[in-house]
């Protein structure tokens, strides 16, 4: 069983090997987290239609990738600000599709996504006036409150993932594996470019 700490350690090693810690300031990570939540919302938006289309295998995989991205940026942020992370991943049964497609279940999913978006908004508020290049956590920031806001994001993410039938731990590990292939150390070290822009991409 994959632990939260194991994922955090792998993420840290991944960043260190590529000299990416320079880009991982609290503000930059929180902004990236916000962007990933937006992408997750865009992927599952069709499920809220009056007659939602069936989620294709490709669509399910896209949703799983976005859940993984949100989890990985959130856990990286926990690590960088040195706040104790959640104790464990929830025991989600990965059905590979929303557990229930009823109107009530769709409303529950919509509420969970709304809570996730709102929680990330409150987290972004903490860092909105900070320098993106600064890695130090300003003394004005209440660490206890920051921890509470991080926890709200974590809870909302796992509620959303559970309603989608996604195993967060498995999705996160699979995404790290994929990123290790996409971002070879030799070509990505010290670079903030997307993998499609790296030397040799598409070869």
Tokens, residue 202: 């598409």
On average, the pLDDT of the chain sits at: 88
Q: Burial-class residue 170 by CB neighbours within 10 Å (0-12, 13-18, 19+).
A: middle
pLDDT (0 to 100) of residue 8: 96
In the CATH scheme, what architecture does the domain 4-197 have? Orthogonal Bundle (1.10)
Do the Cβ atoms of 8 and 66 come closer than 8 Å? no
Q: Which residues of the chain have pLDDT under 50?
A: 94, 99, 202-203
What is the largest distance, in Å, between two alpha-carbon atoms of the chain? 50
Parse the chain into domains and list their residue ranges: 4-197
pLDDT (0 to 100) of residue 137: 85
**Would the pTM of this model clear 0.75, i.e. be above it?**
yes
Residue closest to 94 by CA, chosen among 152, 41, 173, 154:
173
pLDDT (0 to 100) of residue 97: 53
pLDDT (0 to 100) of residue 113: 92
Tokens, residue 113: 């996504």
């Amino acid at each position: 069983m994959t632990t939260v700490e194991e994922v955090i350690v792998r993420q840290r090693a991944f960043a260190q090997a590529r000299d990416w810690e320079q880009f991982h300031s609290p503000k930059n990570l929180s902004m990236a987290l916000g962007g990933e939540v937006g992408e997750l919302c865009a992927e599952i938006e069709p499920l809220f239609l009056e007659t939602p289309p069936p989620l294709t295998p490709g669509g399910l995989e896209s949703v799983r990738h976005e859940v993984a991205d949100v989890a990985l940026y959130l856990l990286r942020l926990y690590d960088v600000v040195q706040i104790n992370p959640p104790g464990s991943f929830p025991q989600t049964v990965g059905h590979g599709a929303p557990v229930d497609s009823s109107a009530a279940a769709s409303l529950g999913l919509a509420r969970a996504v709304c809570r996730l978006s709102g929680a990330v908004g409150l987290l972004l508020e903490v860092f909105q006036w900070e320098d993106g290049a600064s890695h130090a956590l300003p003394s004005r920031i209440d660490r206890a409150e920051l921890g509470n806001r991080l926890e709200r994001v974590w809870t909302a993410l796992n509620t959303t993932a559970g309603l989608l039938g996604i195993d967060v731990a498995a999705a996160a590990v699979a995404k790290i594996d994929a990123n290790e292939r996409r971002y070879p150390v030799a070509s990505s070290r010290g670079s903030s470019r997307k993998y499609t822009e790296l030397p040799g991409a598409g070869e």
